[in-house]
């Protein structure tokens, strides 16, 4: 290990200079942890000298668990015609949106499986209804995989699909479905999903149409260190062309109830080193978010000293990662305290990272005790209007009675 070379690369990156993928791999695998973290934190301080760390209040609403893609790491989906497949009615989705607004949410993430009947028309009906009923909610939803699927079902081009759902109310595309973009690990964990290049293609089209997004990465399914760096390179190269990624969000694979069965996982140290490296590598992405949901609150808080400026959201509902074993929960007061005790200033943000409430002083930290993550997930299906294996959103390709409730439904963290 060339300590002088590593020191030179770290200093250049800390000063805002660009590092190439080979240098990034060297830092990720060989740089002393504290030196890596100090360089990343120097970048954060230069970008965000006010010392603010942001959080969001949102709700992840899954409209269906029916999916034809069968990703090996997913514990949430059910194949078409499965006894435990379900779809929420439009009334139920709107009810959940209303609950979110009442608790101060500013964003809703509508995501679900690749239902064989859900084309562009379904999402136009869904988004227009949410926009009409709750105009204050930002619709940050879907991902390239859903866009490709709906375009295929409706037999339209990607650009047309994005234009139509944007006109219906979509504000922003989530970074969902990225997992690992390099071909080898992607085929190993999601052989039926689109290629990494197609994921990037959809994001590029969206960005050029004025729809911004986030970018994500799932660690711990057997990818190599070099493949992790290649994932970062692919995102940075696209960002150079479009500037459409607001934030990068790495998270860790959850091992329960899926076909991978936890044979490979990511350690906390691997995750934290990647977080710091990402802050140094992404000289063209403004924000870096830590995933306390998958790594735990202690690791999430530690990441605030490694270049992170955002702790993500108090998710009033989350079912997909929870089904695979994520058990970490947080109340709003606890999340704010995590930021405060890391010697940072907490601030609630919106989807665009505009500050809505800055907790400048400790006396400003009093928070609504009702705002707790996953308050609705453990009863995600209880009393809900759902239909088995078919769409319930009016105007979609498939319809069913809004009040029909299946005898058996899959609740958060429960896979029969």
Q: How many alpha carbons fall within 13 Å on the CB side of residue 81?
A: 0
Query: Which of the pair, 282 or 321, is modelled with greater confidence?
Result: 282
**Which pLDDT score, from 0 to 100, does residue 266 have?**
80
pLDDT at 267 over 70: yes
Partners of 103 in the β-ladder: none
pLDDT confidence bin for 401, thresholds 50/70/90: very low
Look at residue 404 and tell me if it is in a domain: no
Q: What is the mean pLDDT of residues 222-233?
A: 96
At 139-158, the pLDDT tens digits run 999 999 999 999 999 999 99
At 98-132, the pLDDT tens digits run 999 998 999 999 988 889 999 999 999 999 999 99
pLDDT confidence bin for 330, thresholds 50/70/90: low
Contact present, 333 and 359 (Cβ < 8 Å) = no
At 156-181, the pLDDT tens digits run 999 999 999 999 999 999 998 899 99
Q: CA 172, CA 142: separation in Å to the nearest integer?
A: 9
**Which pLDDT score, from 0 to 100, does residue 263 have?**
52
Look at residue 64 and tell me if it is in a domain: yes
pLDDT at 259 over 60: no
How many CB atoms lie under 10 A from the CB of residue 131? 15
**Which pLDDT score, from 0 to 100, does residue 300 have?**
86
Look at residue 59 and tell me if it is in a domain: yes
Burial class (CB in 10 A: 0-12, 13-18, 19+), 354: exposed
Q: What is the mean pLDDT of residues 236-260?
A: 82
Contact present, 385 and 402 (Cβ < 8 Å) = yes
pLDDT confidence bin for 325, thresholds 50/70/90: very low
Q: CA 161, CA 148: separation in Å to the nearest integer?
A: 9
At 62-86, the pLDDT tens digits run 898 898 876 666 776 788 888 888 8
pTM assigned to the model: 0.84
pLDDT confidence bin for 49, thresholds 50/70/90: very high
b/e map 133-163, b = 16+ CB within 10 Å: ebeebbbbbbbbbbbbbbbebbeeebeebbb
User: Which positions ≥6 away from 152 have C-beta within 8 Å?
Assistant: none
**Which pLDDT score, from 0 to 100, does residue 192 have?**
83
Q: CA 391, CA 396: separation in Å to the nearest integer?
A: 7
At 369-400, the pLDDT tens digits run 776 665 444 333 333 444 444 444 434 443 33
pLDDT at 322 over 90: no
**Which pLDDT score, from 0 to 100, does residue 73 have?**
61
Q: Domain total for the chain?
A: 1
Question: Which sign does the torsion angle of CA 235, 239, 243, 247 carry?
Answer: positive
Look at residue 39 and tell me if it is in a domain: no
Partners of 173 in the β-ladder: 141, 213
Tokens of residue 412, six digits: 């958060």
Look at residue 125 and tell me if it is in a domain: yes
Q: Among the listed ranges 57-66, 198-207, 239-248, 294-303, which one has the minimum average pLDDT value? A: 294-303
pLDDT at 405 over 50: no
Contact present, 193 and 183 (Cβ < 8 Å) = no
**Which pLDDT score, from 0 to 100, does residue 365 have?**
72
pLDDT confidence bin for 255, thresholds 50/70/90: low
Q: What is the mean pLDDT of residues 131-138?
A: 97
Q: CA 389, CA 78: separation in Å to the nearest integer?
A: 9
Give the structural domain span for 261. Answer: 49-387
Partners of 251 in the β-ladder: 218
CA dihedral 370, 376, 379, 384 (to 10 degrees): 120
CATH of the domain at 257: 3.20.20.70
At 166-221, the pLDDT tens digits run 999 999 999 988 999 999 999 988 888 899 999 999 999 999 999 999 999 999 88
Look at residue 41 and tell me if it is in a domain: no
Look at residue 68 and tell me if it is in a domain: yes
Mean pLDDT of the residues in the chain: 84
Q: What is the mean pLDDT of residues 17-37?
A: 98
Contact present, 92 and 386 (Cβ < 8 Å) = yes
Look at residue 395 and tell me if it is in a domain: no
Query: Which of the pair, 337 or 49, is modelled with greater confidence?
Result: 49
């Amino acid at each position: 290990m060339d300590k002088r070379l590593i020191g030179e690369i770290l200093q250049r990156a800390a000063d805002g200079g660009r590092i190439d993928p080979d240098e990034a791999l060297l830092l990720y695998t060989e740089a002393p942890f504290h030196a890596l973290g100090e360089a990343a934190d120097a970048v954060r301080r230069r970008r965000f000298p006010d010392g603010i760390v942001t959080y969001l209040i949102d709700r992840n609403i899954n409209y269906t668990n029916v999916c034809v893609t069968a990703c090996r790491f997913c514990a949430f989906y059910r194949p078409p015609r499965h006894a435990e497949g379900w779809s929420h009615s439009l009334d139920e989705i709107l009810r959940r949106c209303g609950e979110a607004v009442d608790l101060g949410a500013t964003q809703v993430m509508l995501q679900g499986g690749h239902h064989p009947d859900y084309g562009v028309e379904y999402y136009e009906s869904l988004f227009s209804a949410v926009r009409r009923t709750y105009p204050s909610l930002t619709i940050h939803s879907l991902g390239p995989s859903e866009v490709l699927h709906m375009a295929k079902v409706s037999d339209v081009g990607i650009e047309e699909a994005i234009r139509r759902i944007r006109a219906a109310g979509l504000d922003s595309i989530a970074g969902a479905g990225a997992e690992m973009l390099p071909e080898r690990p992607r085929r190993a964990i999601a052989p039926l999903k689109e290629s990494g290049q197609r994921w990037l293609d959809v994001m590029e089209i969206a960005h050029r149409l004025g729809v911004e997004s986030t970018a994500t990465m799932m660690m711990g399914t057997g990818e190599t260190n070099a493949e992790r760096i290649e994932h970062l390179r692919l995102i940075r190269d696209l960002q150079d062309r479009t500037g459409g990624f607001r934030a990068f969000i790495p998270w860790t694979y959850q091992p329960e109830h899926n076909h991978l069965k936890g044979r490979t996982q990511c350690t906390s140290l691997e995750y934290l080193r990647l977080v710091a490296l990402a802050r140094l590598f992404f000289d063209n992405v403004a924000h870096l978010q830590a995933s306390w949901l998958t790594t735990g609150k202690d690791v999430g808080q530690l990441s605030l000293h490694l270049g992170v400026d955002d702790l993500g959201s108090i998710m009033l509902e989350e079912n997909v990662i929870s089904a695979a074993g994520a058990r970490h929960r947080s109340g709003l007061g606890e999340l704010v305290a995590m930021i405060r005790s890391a010697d940072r200033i907490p601030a609630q943000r919106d989807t665009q990272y505009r500050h809505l409430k800055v907790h400048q002083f400790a006396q400003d930290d009093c928070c609504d005790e009702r705002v707790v993550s996953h308050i609705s997930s453990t009863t995600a299906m209880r009393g809900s209007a759902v239909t088995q294996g078919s769409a319930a959103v009016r105007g979609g390709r498939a319809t069913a009675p809004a009040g029909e409730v299946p005898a058996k439904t899959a609740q958060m963290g429960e896979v029969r």
